Chains A and B, each alone.
Chain A
Amino acid sequence: KNEVEQSPQNLTAQEGEFITINCSYSVGISALHWLQQHPGGGIVSLFMLSSGKKKHGRLIATINIQEKHSSLHITASHPRDSAVYICALNTDKLIFGTGTRLQVFP
């Protein structure tokens, strides 16, 4: 049973496009993380959300606790945004989604 589902699994975009990655979950959480994993494997925390919306540069993350859904948006996408984006649920540990592989082409 998957407690967290991400969509799409793979996403290809042209530079400049607006990107949306979705995350749905089925358990109670205290917060939700959006993480970025580059090809080398390192994980970087982008956002941690417990309600509403957060913005950092071209990245925007939203969460709807009632609907158990979160989205990560990238505006004006760039090839350097190419990475795997992972949604992770904050309980007493992190429960990771399978990730969305994003490739942005020039």
Chain B
Amino acid sequence: EPEVTQTPSHQVTQMGQEVILRCVPISNHLYFYWYRQILGQKVEFLVSFYNNEISEKSEIFDDQFSVERPDGSNFTLKIRSTKLEDSAMYFCASSPTGEGPYGYTFGSGTRLTVV
């Protein structure tokens, strides 16, 4: 069964450092998403990406964050200057279409710890 692959599974970084979280979505999916889950809290939407551009972003997704699909397969989330409050589990997901009764497939997540 096709999978969404995320790397690394764990990342520890110092405050102020840049991190790049990587995702390989399912190859024939067209919509890509990043979500995050702070420990003990619910999963929150960060950003959706379609046709090589951001289609929607949440208030959380400020100028510190950026996404790109550099080579047509990888989908990356960059956090420019990490803060302690960026510590969370980050999930990538992909979907064949943006809406309607079609499924999402989630990656297994990257646990980011900012120290």
Q: Given A92-B56, A93-B48, A93-B56, A45 and B42 touching (CB < 8 A)?
A: no
Whole-angstrom CA separation of A101 from B68 in the bound complex: 34
Number of interface residues of A (CB under 8 A): 25
Q: Given A30-B99, A31-B100, A31-B101, A96 and B106 touching (CB < 8 A)?
A: no
Residue B33, interface by CB 8 Å? yes
Whole-angstrom CA separation of A92 from B99 in the bound complex: 6
Whole-angstrom CA separation of A43 from B105 in the bound complex: 9
Smallest CB separation, A75 vs chain B (Å): 23
Complex contacts, A40 vs chain B, CB 8 Å:
108
Q: Which of A46-102 contact B (CB under 8 A)?
A: 48-50, 86, 88, 90-99
If over half of B's interface residues share one DSSP class (helix, strand or loop), that class is named, otherwise mixed; here it is strand
Whole-angstrom CA separation of A94 from B34 in the bound complex: 11
If over half of A's interface residues share one DSSP class (helix, strand or loop), that class is named, otherwise mixed; here it is strand
Q: Is the CB of B101 within 8 A of A43?
A: no
Complex contacts, A99 vs chain B, CB 8 Å:
42
Q: Is the CB of A42 within 8 A of B48?
A: no
Complex contacts, B111 vs chain A, CB 8 Å:
41
Whole-angstrom CA separation of A68 from B26 in the bound complex: 31
B: contact size bracket? 20 to 34
Whole-angstrom CA separation of A85 from B101 in the bound complex: 20
Residue B8, interface by CB 8 Å? no
Whole-angstrom CA separation of A90 from B102 in the bound complex: 9
Q: Is the CB of B108 within 8 A of A42?
A: yes
Q: Which residue of B lies closest to A32 (CB)?
A: B101
Whole-angstrom CA separation of A95 from B33 in the bound complex: 12
- A sample of 11 more A-B contacts (CB under 8 A), given A41-B109, A94-B93, is A33-B104, A42-B106, A42-B108, A43-B43, A90-B101, A92-B55, A92-B56, A94-B33, A94-B45, A94-B104, A97-B42
What are 5 A-B pairs with beta-carbon distances under 8 A? A31-B101, A41-B37, A92-B55, A96-B43, A97-B42
